Amino acid sequence: MEQNKPLGPLEPAESARPGVPTEAPEAGRFRAPLNPVAALFTGRGPEWVRYALLGGVLLVAALLPFVIQSDRWLTLFTIVLIYVVLASGLNIVVGFTGLLDLGYVAFYAIGGYYAAIIFVQVLKNGFGLDISEMWWLTWVNVLVGGGLAAVAGSLIGYPTLRLRGDYLAIMTLAFGEIIRIVANNWVGLTRGPSGVSGVPKFAIGDFVFKTNFRSYFLALALAVISLFVISRLVRSRVGRAWTAIRDDEVAAAAMGINTSRYKLLSYSCGAFFAGTMGVFFGQYLNFIHPSNFKLMESFVMLCLVVLGGMGGLVGPVVGAVIWITLQEWLRDFEFIQLHPEVRGMVMGIVLVLLMIFRPQGIIGGRRVPLYRKLRRERVSKE
């Protein structure tokens, strides 16, 4: 702050602004009155309301497996949590930076295949090591898998930087398919269509995350950490740069933002979370197969973001919870069991109806604040 003195004394330009009230405008003059739910979503309103609601949601999530103990539902909830992270990660790219990405599943695949290949193909089959002893690697993998996906993200981001709209969509779409096709055909590395089985489960020493109950909590922990990290990214200089690029790229560049670099960073950060979830998925199901990473998956992920509402933090989470649950719940109907193809149709109709009646998504495009007022008392500590 000190090095800059172009303005001279900073006096309020009161005289220069007749007719503008100096007092803060009446609450409600510019925005709807706050209710607690809106406060959670908008980040406005008293802070404790948000924390209370957030705590409530977490509490419900933590108690859920004690209340609903069926394996089927626990598996479903775990999958939901995976998609919560995938949708939130994709939302960095699509919602915050405004770049279309139809190949997001590729990064998920990279994470999953990385875990499978390092354990089964390299360590077990290649070096003949006993992978059941290497529990620590299951944790390291989460970060390495994320990192690999992030690198891949900037690599494919690079040639797409100059593209916009349709071209960008096609390019990312192609990348998503390329990864799957490679996985299907590079039999030496990925075992192709037979998939890689025997990926070890997460473990801490002898404590193996082998039950659905344990896996659920692991997924919950990963989801909470991921969302925390994403929310911090968004409420920072980085998130503001992304949003600026989304709102107006020319103006963003005029603010000194290296738009290419921040777009790549956005791809990388988004890809990172897909990579970590890919690793989780592999070490949770112990089996990785190319059909896990079909093009349709990319569309589903994008749907979750659009459905819940882009541009905020809560939208993709709500989208994932509702959509993935609905998708599974539909399977319970006898009619749909008899005609499985109808399920996709029902989902399609729901999506179309939603886009007609609520194009901004369930939560809507409510914006989150892109900065955080830091507490004053911290000043003295430094």
Partner 1 sequence: MPVLETRSLTKVFGGLTAVNNVDLHVDQDEIVALIGPNGAGKTTVFNAVTGVYPPSSGSVVFQGREISGFPPHKATQLGIARTFQNIRLFGEMSALENVLVGQHCRTKYTVVGAVFRGPRSRREERGAIARAEELLEYVGLSSYQDEAARNLPYGSQRRLEIARALATQPSLLFLDEPAAGMNPQESGALMDLIRQIRAGGMTIMMIEHDMKVVMGISDRVIVLDHGEKISEGTPEYVRGDPKVIEAYLGKSA
**40 versus 244: smaller Cβ distance to partner 1:** 244
Instruction: Count CB neighbours of 165 within 10 A.
Output: 8
**47 versus 71: smaller Cβ distance to partner 1:** 47
Q: Rounded CA gap, 236 and 370, in Å?
A: 6
**23 versus 206: smaller Cβ distance to partner 1:** 23
**214 versus 235: smaller Cβ distance to partner 1:** 235
Asked whether 272 and 149 are in contact (CB, 8 A), the reply is yes
Asked whether 224 and 232 are in contact (CB, 8 A), the reply is no
Q: Please state the closest distance from residue 197 (CB atom) to partner 1, in A.
A: 35
Q: Rounded CA gap, 143 and 114, in Å?
A: 11
Q: Please state the closest distance from residue 4 (CB atom) to partner 1, in A.
A: 4
Q: Please state the closest distance from residue 300 (CB atom) to partner 1, in A.
A: 26
Q: Rounded CA gap, 333 and 347, in Å?
A: 14
Token readout for 368 is 């989150």
Asked whether 283 and 203 are in contact (CB, 8 A), the reply is no
**29 versus 356: smaller Cβ distance to partner 1:** 29
Q: Rounded CA gap, 230 and 95, in Å?
A: 12
Following DSSP, what letter does each residue of 187-199 receive, concatenated?
Answer: HHHH-GGG-EE-P
**242 versus 323: smaller Cβ distance to partner 1:** 242
Q: Please state the closest distance from residue 157 (CB atom) to partner 1, in A.
A: 15
Q: Whose CA is closest to 193, among 129, 288, 269? A: 288
Q: Please state the closest distance from residue 162 (CB atom) to partner 1, in A.
A: 13
Torsion of the alpha carbons at 82, 85, 89 and 94, rounded to the nearest 10: 80
Q: Rounded CA gap, 276 and 349, in Å?
A: 32
Q: Rounded CA gap, 271 and 172, in Å?
A: 12
**45 versus 195: smaller Cβ distance to partner 1:** 45
**269 versus 288: smaller Cβ distance to partner 1:** 269
Q: Please state the closest distance from residue 161 (CB atom) to partner 1, in A.
A: 13
Q: Please state the closest distance from residue 283 (CB atom) to partner 1, in A.
A: 24
Q: Please state the closest distance from residue 97 (CB atom) to partner 1, in A.
A: 13
Interface residues with partner 1 (CB under 8 A)?
1, 4-18, 20-25, 30, 44, 229, 232-233, 235-241, 243-244, 246-248, 250-259, 265, 269, 311, 365, 367, 369-374, 378-379, 382
Asked whether 74 and 68 are in contact (CB, 8 A), the reply is yes
At 147, the amino acid letter reads: G
Q: Rounded CA gap, 113 and 184, in Å?
A: 11
Write down how long the chain is.
382
